[in-house]
Amino acid sequence: MTRRLEGRVALVTGASKGIGAEVAARLAAEGAAVAVNYSASKEAADRVVAAITAKGGKAVAVRGNLADAKAAKDVVAQTVKALGAIDILVNNAGVYEFAPLEAITPDHFHKHFDLNVLGLLLVSGEAVRHFNPNGGSIINISSGVSTIAPPNAAVYTATKASVDAISAVLAKELAPRKSASTQSIPA
């Protein structure tokens, strides 16, 4: 059986649990070597790596809070050092906490935008520098909240609408360079 991603390298951000963990497992099942990014729980990331390697896949855990420029750079460097040039970046890392308008604070705002938007931009910019010579793919995990706009989700909804807009811009910006294709996928 041929695996479509054999020989490819994928970096999945926020991959120690939930959607990110499932994406990492699926990419590995298709043959990709996967860097499992985590920020807080090394144990959770190690469980994802162990599950992938138990099935014959290749994976490593890479720590870093992507809202920090140095950490985003380090996550990409760790991935390249361990697995080689990157073919696929899945921007899944994110935070969501709902709050009514009166409860929105600068901390609440920055917690969301610093990771969900700035982190995505920082890691994408660094990963593009380390894509294999044939280019690569960036997949940004968005959310249906960017269009359904539920109550008490103004900040989170704004971050996911930003992810959609960034995906459209980067698709146009990176395609002519053949350095990457970009897509936003609602989770």
What are the residue numbers of the active site? 156
Residues whose CB falls within 8 Å of the CB of residue 86, separated by 6 or more in sequence, listed in order:
9, 10, 11, 76, 79, 80, 127, 130, 131, 132, 136
CA-wise closest residue to 166 among 142, 130, 132: 142
How many Å apart are CA 179 and CA 184, to the nearest integer?
17
CB 36 within 8 A of CB 93: no
Continuous segment of H or E residues that includes residue 79 = helix 69-83
Residues whose CB falls within 8 Å of the CB of residue 162, separated by 6 or more in sequence, listed in order:
113, 116, 117
CB 83 within 8 A of CB 35: yes
Phi and psi dihedrals of 105, rounded to 5? -120, 165
